[in-house]
Amino acid sequence: MTRGTGRGVRLLAAAMMLGVLGGCSVPARTAVPDSDVTASSVLAALQADDQNAFVSLFAPDADRERVALLWQNFSQIEVKTITDQDGDGWQIGWWVPGEDGLATHLVAPRWQCDVRDCLLEDIVQWSGSPAPIWLVEAVTIHRAGPVTLIGGGDLDGWASIAERSADFVVKSQASQLIRPGESLVIEVPADPSSFAQVMDATVFDFAGTGAITWIADSGGSAPNEEAAPVRIVINPETAETASTVARYLLLVHEQTHAATINWLGYPAAGQLWVSEGLAEAVMLQASPESQQRSKTMLADACEFFGPPPSDSDFADTVRADVAYAWSAAAVTELLADPDATAVISRLWTESGSQPDVGSSQVWCS
Ligand SMILES: [Zn+2]
């Protein structure tokens, strides 16, 4: 299983001799992990559904509960690849059963070595890279119609809301642009610390953000060409305490993102307003109260009008609300165009392209 075992023993013998001759102790050299071979062994154990083989790859004094948790989590997902990144951890390619595409995450094997051998102590987050949710907490999986939820959070509570919001989004007035995949995965971390590891960000970075929609690709050299899926990650700090209506509207917004980013990709630089405007426009269709609030806000903020909001306006605590309201109003107008799909896709993908929509007077009068 490990390379260099014989060399380790010889070094130990030399060290012991030195110790005897010199009358002092010299620390023994330890074995070096064979990361590549262990990665393959983990994958083989998972694919054979062989728990004993999996457990045997861990050191005898590794945390038994932790190893059991990893096994329990792995047994619910599909792992297709584990690729050693030559000193940069492992890249794991995986999906949730029923999901299209292959999510990729970098993770760090942690080793326990003695003079003969290196075994796994744990598998942890690769520093500076988003962690897969199954690495950071005990997960379960809950399938509900067109969505699949995974995580340690309140899956039951989110499932029926997510099913209803998915249904609304495909029937919305933007339906020609909405192209959901077979099954959308929504990650529901149990607590802020899990969320922070899944996002590789501090909870503070997402204060006030209910959920994130992104492409589950954390880098590394992918062994195949399968595209990474779009997923939604719920922020437990903000969203778990929200009302049912607020959660529903949040998921209408995020599911619009998911069903458009999956075929249009992330918007081009400067065009974030198109993507946010579409998600917000669909959300406003679901909520007359929010629509009214959005209109009033625009009327009160006429002096901000001009070109579309910049990408950074959406992260600006002062300007964000108006940026969303402006973008929603603009995209609502664009959706009435008989050629809306072509017009909106062009605005989405071409940096610097400007909307041909009514001037600020339309909403300021
Ligand atoms: Zn958004």
For 338, the domain range is 267-365
Residue 185 lies in a domain: no
Contact between residue 305 and residue 360 where contact means Cβ atoms under 8 Å apart: yes
Q: Return the percentage of the chain with pLDDT > 70, whole number.
A: 87
> For position 157, what pLDDT does the model report?
93
Single pTM value for the model: 0.88
**Each residue's pLDDT tens digit, 127-168:** 999 999 999 999 999 999 999 999 999 999 999 999 999 999
Å from CA of 254 to ligand 1 middle: 6
Contact between residue 284 and residue 331 where contact means Cβ atoms under 8 Å apart: no
Residue 338 lies in a domain: yes
Å from CA of 207 to ligand 1 middle: 14
Residue 40 lies in a domain: yes
- b/e burial code for range 184-196 (CB count within 10 A of at least 16 → b): bbbbbbbebebbb
Confidence of residue 20 (pLDDT cuts 50, 70, 90): very low
**Each residue's pLDDT tens digit, 287-305:** 999 999 998 888 877 665 6
Å from CA of 116 to ligand 1 middle: 53
Residue 233 lies in a domain: no
Last residue of a domain, one of 94, 110, 129: 129
> For position 9, what pLDDT does the model report?
36
**Each residue's pLDDT tens digit, 23-62:** 556 566 889 999 999 999 999 999 999 999 999 999 999 9
Under DSSP, is residue 257 helix (H, G, I), strand (E, B) or coil?
helix
Residue 246 lies in a domain: no
Residue 35 lies in a domain: yes
Q: Domains in the chain: how many in total?
A: 2
Contact between residue 31 and residue 117 where contact means Cβ atoms under 8 Å apart: yes
Å from CA of 3 to ligand 1 middle: 49
Residue 340 lies in a domain: yes
Q: Report residue 75 as tokens.
A: 């047994």
Residue 365 lies in a domain: yes
CATH code for the domain of 88: 3.10.450
Question: Counting every residue, how long is the chain?
Answer: 365
Choose among 336, 355, 333: nearest CA to 346: 355
Last residue of a domain, one of 129, 157, 174: 129
Last residue of a domain, one of 80, 101, 129: 129
Å from CA of 278 to ligand 1 middle: 9
